Structure 1
Amino acid sequence: MKIAIITSGFLPVIDGVTVSGFQRVQRLSKWGHEVILFCPDYQSLKAIYPDWKQYTGNILPNVKVVNLESQPFMGIDFERNVTRGSYGQMLQQLEAFSPDIIHVDEPERLFLGFLKIPGIDFAKKHNIPCIGFFRTNFTEYIEDFFPVKGIFLKFAENIAKKLIAWIYNSYDLTLIHSKTTEAKLVQMGITNVHYRELWGFDPQKFREPKLKINDFFVRNYDLHQEIEEKVKILFIGRLTPDKGWDFGLNALEQFKDLIDWKRVAIFVAGDGPLNSEILERLSKICPETHMLGRVPPEKVPQLFANTDIYVTNSEKENRALTVVEALASGTPVIAPNAGGVIDNMTDGKTGFLYPPQDAQAFVLSLKHLVEHDDLRHEMADNTYGNVCELTLDKAVENLLDIWKKQVSENI
């Protein structure tokens, strides 16, 4: 099968969309399919991503990545989006490739760059199917990046929902891989929603005994020996407003006296504009706060294996990659009872789900896990069963089934 993928992001940027997108094309290459993938150009970020050239051109057998002219997205320089002028370049490449189907990840984000619904015109001209994949609920992020409140926020959200529904209803299908988000899309007015388990990872990579290493942080991050005796709390992800950092930091400051911070070490893996603020505020709460910077995907399993608790305060996830990886590693999770996070969590069994925006409940959940080693170990024994069937092979097989059915129905 010849597959054209138009995506809002790709490696070297690290997030749920880019990592799963790379793993997807790895499988497609291995199984003999031809892929052309279009994504923003990251050359302007070479100071941040010096390895960007590894992910452009012919990166795998039968897989070609075409980087399109890019610009900052929502004012964040290291978040790139395509430009209006790059659409013609993409059409030329599509003509030369002659795909059987077009698959578009996050078309609403791409629309803001191209100023047109990506892929639809080419698909109609050549009578091939074109499907969209809903990955991020951008309407919930408006308040994080734009200075609108109250009725103005509601107005902006309603306009955004109508625009997004119009974009996705233009496709043959709108794919979604979260039951929680599926209901939101139907309510938004998207009429072609198709749920399937399209998200996967390699669970075994997170269960290897060799990942657990004595003195891990001493050896890998040159930290002092005493840190290995502490309860290690991990935050991982983009250091941007949409990840709930403001809530988390405010909650820890407000109820910091509930936890004996001398027992704790905090590790933050990721990069973004909030880096300095997070370090400053967390250090005042927990002196053993360490910023690890950007951690490559291949090193994430070892990081999870050598920490005791994983925390996320993001309420807007469609499907939380890091939560699933933590569970696969046997690391209990503390997260808000909101969004796609809840699809794989069992409250009280694999961690704790606290009510959204309930600062005291969040800190009390953290306190409980910090103070009870036996409970953490018990939860660690429960976590793997919640995610072990979410394999990459199965996810890509499901996606291929959808693609093949769309192609056959279009003949």
Structure 2
Amino acid sequence: MNGVTNSVCRVLEHLSGRGHEVLVVAPGPGPGDHAGHPVRSTPGVVLPFYRSFVVGLPTRQVSSVLRDFGPDVVHLASPLMLGASGIAAARRLDVPTVAVFQTDLAGFAARYGLRGVDPVVWAWLRHIHEKADRTLVPSSPTLEELRRRAFPRLRLWARGVDDQRFHPRHRSAELRARLAPGGEVLVGYVGRLAAEKRPWMLSHLTGLPGVRLVVVGDGPAERRLRRSLPDAVFTGFRTGSELSELVASLDVFVHTGADETFCQAVQEGLAAGVPVVAPAAGGPLDLVRPGHNGLLYPPNDPAALRAAVATLVADPALRRQMGDNARSSVHGRDWSTICDELIGHYDEVRHGTSTRWAA
């Protein structure tokens, strides 16, 4: 599940638990409700180079839906095309808006070969966000980037983690024995297998002695990745208790994406008590403290990635210490705390209190 969808689902569940009323407007196909809140589907288009990514199209339907619902605030989740309709409708209805900047669309486009579109993408995003009453940004590096690009009214709002689903207690000796029958050190990647995550960098971990590489997830790059990593274990897409066990049973958690505005997967690895090796770029800079709960490497240096993983593989005591620190480093980042912060942002933009929101 992508980060935008995951965050929206957690917010909906939290608002439901607090007794608030929410309406979701999202591109179809999709469920008709979530956490007891209705979902209104709008037209969307599938990207030809990424079949699981649906872009919502602008539609006048948003205005009528919002007018009928009568929200007190409109939450724009990573607005692009449908979000532009949402913010225009909210302005016509004189409803305050909170926009969430979550996806590095310029970096995403570049990974799929759309070179030279950066100025257009950034101009469009700034055009949308400058109309919002507040833009929430998930990490300090992204906050600085948006400030540099003259985005107004920015505030930092991180992402939560389910610290019970991702917990060291889910570490499974039985699973580890299946994945590494020779007692190998388990080095794992968890995430989409797609160009923007750069999973091809995992090929630079091949040949590390005493290591079994575990790849959790699926995506358009899976077939090519399987060919380049013939000795790795590919689990496919996993969720629920299976994912909890997989993450907690790793010895080293590796991330390869260099365009992350936050990086939820890294935070989940930390919550599970696993030291993380991640690029020194974007969201991981807020999450990984080198030498404390993991290691960072220059994002375009595969040799440095390999060296960082090799350092942890060779030192079990260091892994244990960093694992302990990893869990404590995400203390206070549970979704309940983070979503209460979001409600605070809602209240601040609307200068009062009420119980109806549109997402």
TM-superposed CA distance for 1:194, in Å, is 1.8
TM-superposed CA distance for 1:410, in Å, is 11
Does structure 2 conserve the Cα–Cα contact (< 8 Å) formed by 1:162 and 1:188? no
Does structure 2 conserve the Cα–Cα contact (< 8 Å) formed by 1:233 and 1:266? yes
| Partner SS, residue 274 of structure 2 | coil
Task: Determine the structure 2 residue equivalent to 1:212.
Answer: 171
Work out whether 1:272 is the aligned partner of 2:219. yes
Deviations 1:374-403 (A, max 9, x none): 211121111112111112111111111111
Query: Cα gap change, 1:337/1:58 in structure 2, threshold over 3 Å: closer, same or farther?
Result: closer
Which runs of at least 4 in structure 1 moved beyond 3 Å after TM superposition?
none
- The correspondence for 1:59, drawn from 34, 51, 71, is 34
Work out whether 1:180 is the aligned partner of 2:167. no
Work out whether 1:76 is the aligned partner of 2:37. no
- Cα distance in 2 for residues equivalent to 1:266 and 1:394: 34
Alignment of 1:86-97 (within 5 A): 87-97=59-69
Does structure 2 conserve the Cα–Cα contact (< 8 Å) formed by 1:74 and 1:145? no
- Cα distance in 1 for residues equivalent to 2:39 and 2:127: 28
Does structure 1 conserve the Cα–Cα contact (< 8 Å) formed by 2:171 and 2:248? yes
Task: Determine the structure 1 residue equivalent to 2:255.
Answer: 312
Work out whether 1:241 is the aligned partner of 2:195. yes
- Cα distance in 2 for residues equivalent to 1:244 and 1:64: 36
Task: Determine the structure 1 residue equivalent to 2:153.
Answer: 192
Task: Determine the structure 2 residue equivalent to 1:377.
Answer: 320
Does structure 1 conserve the Cα–Cα contact (< 8 Å) formed by 2:277 and 2:296? yes
Does structure 2 conserve the Cα–Cα contact (< 8 Å) formed by 1:127 and 1:410? no
- The correspondence for 2:161, drawn from 181, 186, 201, is 201
TM-superposed CA distance for 1:30, in Å, is 0.8
| Partner SS, residue 158 of structure 1 | helix
Does structure 2 conserve the Cα–Cα contact (< 8 Å) formed by 1:20 and 1:201? no
Deviations 1:23-79 (A, max 9, x none): 111110011000011222136xxxxxxxxxxxx224333x11222222213631111
369-378 or 97-106, which moves further after superposition? 369-378
| Partner SS, residue 292 of structure 1 | strand
Alignment of 1:1-400 (within 5 A): 14-42=1-29, 56-61=31-36, 63-73=37-47, 75-84=49-58, 87-108=59-80, 111=81, 114=82, 117-148=84-115, 153=116, 156-195=117-156, 197-207=157-167, 209=169, 211-216=170-175, 223=178, 226=181, 229-249=183-203, 251-252=204-205, 256=206, 259-260=208-209, 263-283=210-230, 287=231, 289-400=232-343
| Partner SS, residue 128 of structure 1 | coil
- Cα distance in 2 for residues equivalent to 1:212 and 1:336: 25
| Partner SS, residue 161 of structure 2 | coil
- Cα distance in 2 for residues equivalent to 1:15 and 1:59: 16
TM-superposed CA distance for 1:224, in Å, is 7.0
Does structure 2 conserve the Cα–Cα contact (< 8 Å) formed by 1:268 and 1:290? yes
Contiguous gaps of at least 5 residues in structure 2: 355-359
TM-superposed CA distance for 1:95, in Å, is 2.1
| Partner SS, residue 172 of structure 2 | coil
| Partner SS, residue 60 of structure 2 | helix
157-166 or 198-207, which moves further after superposition? 198-207
TM-score (norm 2): 0.92
- Cα distance in 2 for residues equivalent to 1:147 and 1:72: 16
- Cα distance in 1 for residues equivalent to 2:153 and 2:310: 44
- Cα distance in 2 for residues equivalent to 1:79 and 1:35: 24
294-303 or 334-343, which moves further after superposition? 294-303
Does structure 1 conserve the Cα–Cα contact (< 8 Å) formed by 2:201 and 2:302? yes
Deviations 1:92-112 (A, max 9, x none): 32222111111101112xx1x
- Cα distance in 2 for residues equivalent to 1:126 and 1:387: 39
| Partner SS, residue 216 of structure 1 | helix
Return the letter of the residue paired with 2:324.
D
TM-superposed CA distance for 1:268, in Å, is 0.9
TM-superposed CA distance for 1:20, in Å, is 2.0
TM-superposed CA distance for 1:354, in Å, is 0.9
Task: Determine the structure 2 residue equivalent to 1:47.
Answer: none
| Partner SS, residue 119 of structure 1 | helix
Task: Determine the structure 2 residue equivalent to 1:11.
Answer: none
| Partner SS, residue 131 of structure 1 | strand
Query: Cα gap change, 1:224/1:189 in structure 2, threshold over 3 Å: closer, same or farther?
Result: closer
Contiguous gaps of at least 5 residues in structure 1: 1-13, 44-55
Return the letter of the residue paired with 1:236.
V
Return the letter of the residue paired with 1:64.
P
Task: Determine the structure 1 residue equivalent to 2:357.
Answer: none
TM-superposed CA distance for 1:174, in Å, is 1.1
TM-superposed CA distance for 1:332, in Å, is 0.8
TM-superposed CA distance for 1:158, in Å, is 2.0
Q: Which structure's relative contact order is higher, taking Cα pairs within 8 Å and 6+ residues apart?
A: 2
Task: Determine the structure 2 residue equivalent to 1:406.
Answer: 349
Query: Cα gap change, 1:383/1:135 in structure 2, threshold over 3 Å: closer, same or farther?
Result: same
Return the letter of the residue paired with 2:274.
T
